A and B are shown apart, each in its own frame.
Chain A
Amino acid sequence: MSEEFNDNKTIHAQSSETISGGGSSAAPDIDYVRPAEVEEQDLYHGHSFITKWVFCQDAKVIGVQYFLLATFTGIVGLILSWLMRLQLGFPGAAGFMTAEHYYQFVTMHGMIMVVYFLTALFLGGFGNYLIPLMVGARDMVFPYLNMVSFWMFFIAVGVLMASFFVPGGPTGAGWTLYPPQTILEGTPGSGAGILLMCLSLILFVAGFTMGGLNYLITILQARTRGMTLMRMPLTVWGIFTATVLAMLAFPALLVGALMMSLDKVLGTSFFMPTILKAGEVLEYGGGSPILFQHLFWFFGHPEVYIVALPAFGIVSDLISVHSRKNIFGYRMMVWAIVGIGALSFFVWAHHMYVSGMNPWFGFFFATTTLIIAVPTAMKVYNWILTLWRGNIRMNTVMLWCLGFIVTFVNGGITGIFLGNVSVDVPLSDTYFVIAHFHMVMGIAPLMVIMGAVYHWFPLVSGRFLDEKLGKWHFWTTFLGAYSIYFPMHYLGFIGVPRRYFEMYDSPYMTSAVGMNEFISLAAFLVGAAQFILIYNIIKTLKTGKRAGSNPWKACSLEWLTPSVPPEHGNWGDRLPVVHRWCYDYSVPGAKEDFITQTTPPSEVQNTGVEKT
């Protein structure tokens, strides 16, 4: 670092303190914030339509691009779920529905929703939009790489969607893609379909690694002055930890997909033992189908938390802002996120209790799995303790948060059933599992996504989404989704297996016909209700109420940009300087019920604010 540069920064730092200090009479040292250590980043400013909106290097635009593309795949996934529920509730109602189609829809629905919808939306969408704004950076540290990341995702989605149109159609092996059947003749899409799926996953992982490195390095290196790690919003903590998990977990999926492609194309036998098919012994031998399951779930379980941790973080912030109260036990919340993230690498085989792996593993994985319930429960307690003695705005955002708490606790408790190895034995592979994971990693994160959309839409567009439509959207979705998945647990108790094209005539399954019809009708309704949001967004963009600056009276940095919506570069001439955490709500003695992160101590000297 040159001498000259050093001097520059010092001057810069002093002048910004004087300005943010508002000329108060306080001694300058209480407002002191260490000067910046690195030079500000040069940004590429696009001028043409293409460089501004298509191949764009602004993280905010990339975030919106991720959001829109993930939403598109999510709608495809939603339509597939409608088709599945049509078959389950009203068998034969759709004439074209064969078992092959049904299983293809099941597979694509699962993979799309978990990877291409939820993961891309939380990390690619919210991560890109919020990280630079929340930590006070001008952009991601590698904007070009960030752009490439999105376009890799775009190609991955294209390849995935292309598999609907190749001969044999998409793979129908179940979203877990368990070999040997995934690549054996007779399984739908065992030719081009599965190869495109593997290729698409490989592209997704590659693209995601580019984005992920950006998130991590931006959070570690590009935080603004005063933004210590323990002052970051929990949203950033959640996305940060989830990205670390993704960096470590996705390689397992990548090698799994690669090895499976080799088994298919070159005839290797990584996952393929000796197989007798249609009276002939195939040219495979010696491979282990369970090896794939280990690789898949070594990715697959952290994947659950890759979706859940950003949701945990975001919902913490939403609850705090709209309860006008700091998040209860911030440090505990941070360590819980980190702890859950670390533990999530030691629980993967709880998906495999009855897979035929050595049954003695069951003791270990049941114990680790139930240990993870402790930090998770702490998070739940802290959310509801944040409501306690708060000043709760009952707006749409808060409703989604409350909906999240109910569905997440419900799904978390059923997770304790399934994690507790011997209880899992009768329940695994039944509808109990379907109900559990949809509640906990489908509906609960979806509640957070929706809450986040209603919360940050005024920032992104400058306008409020319509509250009345929002409430209709919430109640239909929440009540509908709850009545899909709550009763579904009981199908699992009866013993109804998952992945059944038809229930047939088993006595205990015929008793479930009525319930299946009801669940299907609820599913149609909930799916349709999502179009309320799309209508709401279009309507709001045209005629919505203008939000202005910091409409929720929040403390965190993303609301404190000089212009709303924030422009490229986020902060105008000068980066913000942070003096406190982002949860100083309802501080006794303060003029208003929030103190922004950029407010220097000298301005709030006579209040009861605690040093953070």
Chain B
Amino acid sequence: MHPGIIFFLVILGSVLFHIFTPWYWTDVASNWGGMDDTITLTFWIGGGVFIAVCLFMVYCVFKFSYKEERRAEYKPEDKRLEKILTWATTIGVVALLAPGLVIWNNYVNVPKNAIEVDVMAWQWGWQYRLPGKDGKLGTTQIVNINDDNPFGINSDDPYGKDDVMIQSDVLNLQNDKPVKILLRSVDVLHNWYVPQFRAKMDAVPGIVTYYWFEPNKVGEYEVLCVEYCGVGHYAMRGGVIVQDEKDYKNWLGQQETYSDLIAKQENKEINKKQLAKKTD
């Protein structure tokens, strides 16, 4: 069999695989559908180039296979052709880059009405903190973290008192409402990723990083850690439940705030003291 046939079948197989693949995107569940569109565009332009280049190659190996009596063409350069190809490629590249940059511009500019969520990561787990009625998260420090202050909130920061603390790896979000994910890590790199939302960013110890999205499908999703963080990396999962406004408000009302926690601890202290007095 002529090797050109096998190369042709490889190209054909690639195209067919792409058309009939059962493995493809999960349905997008956030505002980042534009990323999918850019990918589709890149598939058309890039895939077109791939097919064209490979088919041209296959044509050449059929047409110009070695014959003793034939001579190859002698033509060291073709300035005009090279110029045309350079410009055509440049135009293709610009066509791909432009939409990519537009979406990136959206990605780095967070809408003003986005709710901030503190996502705290460690080896190997997540917990979340939402701002209270004041709409602002209190500042934190790693050295403050202990059993009584799981998020390390600075106790002298008034914004921190009403923060809602979710000591679970499952976060509830309100549908159609933008969220700004503020990521921090207490030990190594992590990354909070829900494939259906498309967006992601590393959590880096020492700094706070961010990204935003707007969930637009009610449902339950799995969170994956996608930045290698040690032997437990593959098991570092979490969850997101996207709810409509009523359910979300309902859920939010049941969560504990930092001041609730402090009050609970003070009660415990008092109880302890009283107990100590009684036994005296």
Contacts and interface: CB of A to CB of B under 8 A. Distances in A.
A385 B231 CA distance: 49
Contacts of B7: 402, 406
A367 B98 CA distance: 9
Interface residues of A, number: 113
Nearest to A398: B61
B38 A422 contact: yes
A326 interface: yes
A230 to B, nearest CB: 12
Interface string B34-61: 1110110010001101100110110011
B199 A426 contact: yes
B61 A394 contact: yes
11 contacts: A184-B187, A276-B186, A325-B73, A325-B74, A373-B89, A405-B54, A406-B7, A409-B49, A420-B42, A494-B25, A588-B74
Contact of B103 (A410, A422, A490, A502): A422
Contact of B202 (A329, A355, A414, A486): A355
B204 A290 contact: yes
A356 B206 CA distance: 11
Interface in B218-233: 222, 224-233
A438 interface: no
A289 B227 CA distance: 13
Given A274-B142, A486-B17, A366 B100 contact: yes
Given A394-B3, A394-B66, A501-B234, A429 B191 contact: yes
Interface in A365-404: 366-367, 370-371, 373-374, 377-378, 380-382, 384-385, 387-394, 399, 402
A367 B97 contact: yes
- In order of increasing CB-CB distance, the 5 nearest A-B pairs are A273-B206, A495-B195, A181-B188, A356-B209, A389-B73
Interface string B55-71: 01100110011110011
Interface string A597-612: 0000000000010101
A495 B224 contact: yes
Given A103-B231, A289-B204, A423-B100, A276 B85 contact: no
A148 B120 CA distance: 50
A277 interface: yes
A420 B93 CA distance: 10
Contact of A289 (B22, B85, B189): B189
Given A389-B64, A426-B195, A493-B25, 4 more contacts: A172-B231, A281-B142, A330-B76, A586-B73
A342 interface: no
B275 interface: no
Contacts of B200: 354, 425-426, 428-429
A380 B49 CA distance: 11
Contacts of A331: 77
Interface string A486-504: 1100110111011111111
Interface in B12-40: 14, 17, 21-26, 32, 34-36, 38-39
Contacts of B22: 511
A224 interface: no
A487 B18 CA distance: 9
A285 to B, nearest CB: 9
Contacts, number: 322
A421 B142 CA distance: 32
Contacts of A324: 66, 71-72
A143 interface: no
A499 B193 CA distance: 14
Contact of B96 (A286, A355, A370): A370
B6 interface: yes
A105 interface: no
B191 to A, nearest CB: 6
B50 A275 contact: no
Nearest to B232: A99
A549 interface: no
Contacts of A370: 93, 96-97
B23 A377 contact: no
Given A324-B72, A329-B82, A366 B104 contact: yes
B23 A491 contact: yes
Contacts of B60: 384, 387-388, 390, 392
A506 interface: yes
A478 B222 CA distance: 37
A500 B234 contact: yes
Contacts of A276: 122, 142, 145, 186-187
Contacts of B23: 487, 490-491, 493-494, 511-512, 515
Given A390-B72, A423-B39, A586-B74, A402 B57 contact: yes
Given A180-B188, A276-B122, A359-B108, A423 B73 contact: no
